[in-house]
């Protein structure tokens, strides 16, 4: 008789949310079925580690940690959280944290093979409309507040979708969106006092074809549109990562370009992503000094005072009357 900690048992029975709670980590906020935590795998200010309760998986949108693991199941989290200890030691850590019993099995149990089932992810949404911008005032206000309303024309759509299952089944939602390379819709909107980010479908980079020689790479689509506002005549091809964890996909796409400019966030995740890009493609240029003093291009754009038309200038009537005074 042998004592054994079953990895399959841990994956089937241990809730990642419960494990995080027992380790002393609480979510910063919830978005649908996803919980967002301030990453405990690295230093960060904004919550970017996402946990899907239903699927039992996690993904760190903020970048790689010392283990190199960006997401996965509860055991993958343990391997990252307790890095660099061994796989059996991670199972023991999880078992202790969750107070799981140790199974006693015979040699015959080792010889029995459980049939493996392929994991399938069933979409929890249904797209009910893809419309041009300007139909929904809330989306229009959001894009105007980001300073990229004109640049978004023809480059973004209004995405209307309905939740297909769960507590919010039947509820309709809307967001501004654009497509990535897989045809999935990357979504952005504002809910209350925070920005909403999601993806309907498989996460991937977005590629905008242009010059065959010059490429500009951005972390986010809003940064790309902000740059386009300042560079309306630019003909560069463009890659938008949509997540710094997709930097490897960007490297594959960027390899053929003679000139590459990177406009990444001025934070640790952005710096790490740039270092990875530069290691693979040494000729890449860091253009983040363009918005020095700000985290990203869009933040710099939003900080600018709005342009006023002549008749919108403050005290305009007093100034006009002053010209008639004798």
Look at residue 225 in the predicted model and tell me its pLDDT. Answer: 98
Look at residue 221 in the predicted model and tell me its pLDDT. Answer: 97
* 242, 221 contact by CB (below 8 A): yes
CATH 3.40.1360.10 for domain 206-303: yes
Q: Which residues contact 265 (CB under 8 A, 6 or more apart)?
A: 219, 288, 295, 296
Q: What angle do CA 96, 100, 104 make, to 5 degrees?
A: 115
Q: Extract the tokens encoding 257.
A: 């370009």
Look at residue 98 in the predicted model and tell me its pLDDT. Answer: 82
Three-class SS state of 163 = strand
Look at residue 33 in the predicted model and tell me its pLDDT. Answer: 72
Q: Extract the tokens encoding 326.
A: 């004798």
Pairwise CA distance, residues 149 & 116, whole Å: 49
Look at residue 269 in the predicted model and tell me its pLDDT. Answer: 86
Q: Where are the domains of the chain?
A: 2-111, 125-200, 206-303
Neighbours of 298 (CB within 10 A): 24
Q: Which residues contact 323 (CB under 8 A, 6 or more apart)?
A: none
This prediction's pTM:
0.63
Local structure of residue 120 (DSSP, 8 states)? -
Look at residue 114 in the predicted model and tell me its pLDDT. Answer: 45
What element of type H or E holds 15? none
Three-class SS state of 229 = helix
Pairwise CA distance, residues 212 & 254, whole Å: 10
Per-residue pLDDT of the chain (326 residues; tens, 9 = 90+): 344 456 777 877 788 988 998 999 999 888 777 888 999 998 888 888 889 877 788 888 877 788 888 888 898 899 999 999 988 888 889 988 888 765 544 445 444 444 444 444 556 788 999 999 999 999 999 999 999 999 999 999 999 999 887 777 889 999 999 999 999 999 999 988 778 888 898 889 999 999 999 999 999 999 999 999 999 999 999 999 998 888 989 999 999 999 999 999 999 889 989 999 999 999 999 999 999 999 999 999 999 987 655 544 555 555 555 555 54
Look at residue 322 in the predicted model and tell me its pLDDT. Answer: 55
Please choose, from the candidates 200, 208, 279, 285, the residue with its C-alpha nearest in 3D space to the C-alpha of residue 247. Answer: 279
Three-class SS state of 79 = helix
Pairwise CA distance, residues 130 & 60, whole Å: 29
Distances (CA, A) of 96 to 10, 21, 260: 11, 14, 49
**What's domain 2-111's superfamily in CATH?**
Zinc finger, CHC2-typedomain (3.90.580.10)
Please choose, from the candidates 214, 167, 169, 161, the residue with its C-alpha nearest in 3D space to the C-alpha of residue 189. Answer: 161
Pairwise CA distance, residues 220 & 202, whole Å: 16
Q: Extract the tokens encoding 105.
A: 């099995």
Pairwise CA distance, residues 102 & 211, whole Å: 60
């Amino acid at each position: 008789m042998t004592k054994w900690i079953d990895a399959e048992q841990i994956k089937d029975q241990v809730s990642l949310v419960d494990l995080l709670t027992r380790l002393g980590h609480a979510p910063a906020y919830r978005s649908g079925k996803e919980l967002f935590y301030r990453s405990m795998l690295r230093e960060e200010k904004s919550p970017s580690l996402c946990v899907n309760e239903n699927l039992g998986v996690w993904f760190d949108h903020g970048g790689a940690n010392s283990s190199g693991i960006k997401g996965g199941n509860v055991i993958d989290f343990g391997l990252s959280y307790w890095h660099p200890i061994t796989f059996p030691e991670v199972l023991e850590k999880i078992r202790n944290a969750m107070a799981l019993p140790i199974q006693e099995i015979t040699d015959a149990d080792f010889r029995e093979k459980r049939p493996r089932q392929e994991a399938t992810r069933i979409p929890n949404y249904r797209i009910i409309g893809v419309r041009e911008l300007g139909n929904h005032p809330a989306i229009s206000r959001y894009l105007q507040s980001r300073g990229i309303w004109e640049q978004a024309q023809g480059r973004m759509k209004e995405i209307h979708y309905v939740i297909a299952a769960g507590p919010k089944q039947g509820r309709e939602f809307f967001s501004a969106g654009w497509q990535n390379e897989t045809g999935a819709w990357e979504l952005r909107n504002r809910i209350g006092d925070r920005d909403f980010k999601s993806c309907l479908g498989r996460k991937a980079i977005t590629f905008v074809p242009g010059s065959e020689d010059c490429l500009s790479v951005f972390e986010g689509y809003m940064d790309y549109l902000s740059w386009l506002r300042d560079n309306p005549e630019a003909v560069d091809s463009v890659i938008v990562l949509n997540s710094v964890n997709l930097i490897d996909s960007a490297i594959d796409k960027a390899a053929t370009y003679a000139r590459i400019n990177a406009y990444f966030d001025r934070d640790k995740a952005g710096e790490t992503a740039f270092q990875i890009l530069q290691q693979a493609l040494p000729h890449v240029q860091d253009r983040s000094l363009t918005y020095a003093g700000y985290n990203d291009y869009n933040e710099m754009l939003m900080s600018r005072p709005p342009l006023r038309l002549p008749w919108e200038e403050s005290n305009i009537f007093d100034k006009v009357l002053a010209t008639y005074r004798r």
